[in-house]
Amino acid sequence: MQMPKQSTTDVLIVGGGPTGLALGLELAAQGGRIRFRIVDKALGRSDKSRALVIQPRTLELLNRHRHLHLGNSASSGDDISNTGGIGRSLQSRGNTADGTTIVVSGRAVAGFETRDIAPLPNTAFPLQLIVEQQETERVLDESLAKATAATETGGVKVEWGVEARSIVRDGDGEGVTVTLGKTSSRPRGNGSRGGTKGAEDEDGVEEGEEVEIVHAKFVVGCDGKNSRVRQAAGLTFEGDSYAQDFVLADARVKWNDPARNHNRACLCFGHGLLTVIPLGHDDMVRVVAVRASITNTSDQKDNDKDKTPKLEDFQRYFDSEMLPELGGTLHSATWLARFYLHHRGVDRYLDPSSRRLLVAGDAAHVHSPVGGQGMNTGIQDAVNLGWKLGAVLRGERPPRFLDSYDAERTPVGRRLLETTDRAFAWLTWMHPWFLWLRNALLPWVVPRALQDRGRVSRSFWDMSQLGITYYSDRRGGGGGGITGTAEGLDKGCRIRGGDRVLDGKIRAPGEEGDKYLLELTDARTHHLLLFSGVDSQAASEGDLQRAEAKFVENSRIPAQVHGIFGEKPNGQSGYVDVDGILHREFGFKKASYILIRPDGYAAHVGPLSALGALVGWFNESLE
């Protein structure tokens, strides 16, 4: 019998979708010394659009990888400057709907223009972006290849058609042994992919099958709702499935009124629910409907539940529920599908006994598509986890540091499940009496609700994920004590440890043009921002230089330091806070600091006078 191939790696990522790719990018940013692989049981990338929405916070976080200097994209024609990162690259390829129209029983009752309501303050990415998932994955694939080009393997790529047959924690608690096999070698039939199965051993390996034994220090499951890693870790996945089934079409439209601006989303309430999203090219739209909206009888629903919907089904509903001037003829469909939705979440994001098995993305949480949260949450799981794995693997932090991943991301996943479930239940309940009441009330309620611009803006803010915070007092010391706030800040200070660091324009003396504050930071290290303060309380350049020197001398972990002056300096080095907006938004009147973690969140905030205490806190957190 041929002995299986044996190999070792630091991190084995199971699942090559956006979450797995994002985690790969985070690990690659840790200095090139961390070995990792990404395997996926699929035979290759899907050509379907799937997840469409990228939220502003996700774009900010992906843009931390500016060190890749993506440059020109031959396929898209975009020109990424040296300060441009993945977020900018995606921004140049995506679409933002110009507005949204609300239709009830075939009549437009309200609407809004995106740029009148939705642009968010204090960010370089103020709008949601529509990018088809295969394009997002292509950008992440290219970025990962470039980020790892100088490694021993000459660039990390997803290993397609490779599945984890068994995942076993090592007895010493120092790693995990994974048996990998080729997906294509699995026989068809009664097994996982059909056919008659041959004799298998306890690892699910068939006699004579070529496998690989991988010894990994950590295994991260980015392998979706049926995650093998989650099962191996013994994590629960509690929740339920929605009763309704849904149908989807990606198709082109020959518009009834081609002169009209059709780059608008439509939300149509009638016999059911129809959503139309413009994809931004070739008159392509995504059409999603609650299935009961198209199939009116239960017998027909039972007969059709496993069938792919037909384009004429969507056309009938398109004609009956859309306004004639907004509608048209659907044709040239690239994707027709029926799907079912679930709302489930894990009890923890890692195996608590060994901390060697972790989950992220759909392996940790699945939910309705309301608000375009799913893929974004998975990518942000990866961003939170990547630098922490790097710190543990380099020996800078103990393995228990990974508990902070669970402590910080579990509340995010739980809130997401709660909020999307409530909204989705209201949108998709198909009881006839409810539909009648809903359609009677919406023409009165929606116009009045949209007049409250503050409420609408807050809704976009919530969806943007810019408001996610990691406070150390959550869950009895959640965050593992890795965020903090010193005493002595100005009374009106509006940032503390664990917050997202808002963005704004800065200018380097002697340089033309502005840049964004967060362009000073990246995914590779901590960054210390020293703010001078304003007016009579402002610190001098010498004050900031002495503070920087003291921090660099005493801190056990390196950080890049940047000075931000509230007013134009007289020959001083550093950056100028354009119009003093950043000082005003942060509430910094006197000199203050923000220590930014590699994942873009504030690790510690305080007055400049407390910088010595920051060094002590920072070093203590390493113990």
Using one digit for the tens of pLDDT, what is the confidence trace for 300-350?
545 555 678 999 999 988 888 877 778 899 999 999 999 888 999 999 999
Q: Are residues 371 and 490 in the same domain?
A: no
Q: Are residues 408 and 492 in the same domain?
A: no
Asked if residue 310 is part of any domain, the answer here is no
Tell me the C-alpha distance between 547 and 103, whole Å: 59
Helix (H, G, I), strand (E, B) or coil at 167: strand
Q: What mean pLDDT is predicted for residues 93-105?
A: 95
Judged against a pLDDT cut of 60, whether residue 199 lies above it is answered with no
Judged against a pLDDT cut of 60, whether residue 384 lies above it is answered with yes
Q: What mean pLDDT is predicted for residues 456-483?
A: 75
Tell me the C-alpha distance between 566 and 564, whole Å: 7
Q: Are residues 144 and 26 in the same domain?
A: yes
CB atoms within 10 A of CB 458: 12
CATH number at residue 157: 3.50.50.60
Using one digit for the tens of pLDDT, what is the confidence trace for 476-530?
333 446 899 999 999 999 999 999 999 999 998 777 789 999 999 999 999 999 9
Backbone angles phi and psi of 156, in degrees to 5: -85, 130
- Count of domains observed in the chain: 2
Query: What integer pLDDT is reported at residue 420 of this predicted model?
Result: 84
Using one digit for the tens of pLDDT, what is the confidence trace for 147-165?
999 777 678 999 999 999 9
CATH number at residue 533: 3.40.30.20
Please tell me what DSSP assigns to residue 79. Answer: B
Identify the band that residue 241 occupies on the pLDDT scale cut at 50, 70 and 90. Answer: confident
pLDDT: which is higher, 384 or 118: 384
Asked if residue 556 is part of any domain, the answer here is yes
Q: Are residues 66 and 152 in the same domain?
A: yes
Query: What integer pLDDT is reported at residue 269 of this predicted model?
Result: 92
Residues in the chain, overall count: 623
Q: Are residues 499 and 383 in the same domain?
A: no
Nearest residue to 61 via CA among 3, 10, 125: 125
Asked if residue 142 is part of any domain, the answer here is yes
Judged against a pLDDT cut of 80, whether residue 53 lies above it is answered with yes
Q: Are residues 491 and 390 in the same domain?
A: no
Parent domain of 162: 5-100+130-237+345-415
Please tell me what DSSP assigns to residue 331. Answer: E
**E strand or H helix at 369:** none
- CA–centroid distance for 181 within its chain: 29
Strand partners, 168: 177
**E strand or H helix at 565:** strand 559-565
Give pairs for 349-353: CB < 8 Å, separation 24+. Answer: 349/381, 349/405, 349/406, 349/409, 349/410, 349/413, 350/233, 350/402, 350/403, 350/405, 350/406, 351/169, 351/233, 351/234, 351/235, 352/403, 352/406, 353/173
Judged against a pLDDT cut of 70, whether residue 435 lies above it is answered with yes
Mean pLDDT of the chain: 87
- Helix ranges restricted to H, 429-520: 432-451, 453-464
Asked if residue 476 is part of any domain, the answer here is no
Among the three residues 380, 415, 450, which one is the final residue of a domain in this structure? 415
Q: Are residues 505 and 584 in the same domain?
A: yes
Which burial class, exposed, middle or buried, applies to 21 when counting CB atoms under 10 A from its CB (0-12, 13-18, 19+)?
Answer: buried
Q: Are residues 17 and 161 in the same domain?
A: yes
Asked if residue 119 is part of any domain, the answer here is no
- Percent over 90 (pLDDT), the chain: 68
Among the three residues 415, 434, 458, which one is the final residue of a domain in this structure? 415
Among the three residues 398, 415, 432, which one is the final residue of a domain in this structure? 415
Using one digit for the tens of pLDDT, what is the confidence trace for 389-403?
999 999 999 999 999
Which burial class, exposed, middle or buried, applies to 539 when counting CB atoms under 10 A from its CB (0-12, 13-18, 19+)?
Answer: buried
Judged against a pLDDT cut of 50, whether residue 268 lies above it is answered with yes
Kindly report the pTM of this predicted structure.
0.92
Judged against a pLDDT cut of 80, whether residue 81 lies above it is answered with no
Asked if residue 268 is part of any domain, the answer here is no
β-pairing verdict for 484-485 and 602-607: parallel
Using one digit for the tens of pLDDT, what is the confidence trace for 248-259?
999 999 999 998
Q: Are residues 161 and 76 in the same domain?
A: yes
Rounded to 5°, the CA angle 215-221-222 comes to 130
Asked if residue 196 is part of any domain, the answer here is yes
Q: Are residues 357 and 489 in the same domain?
A: no
Asked if residue 339 is part of any domain, the answer here is no
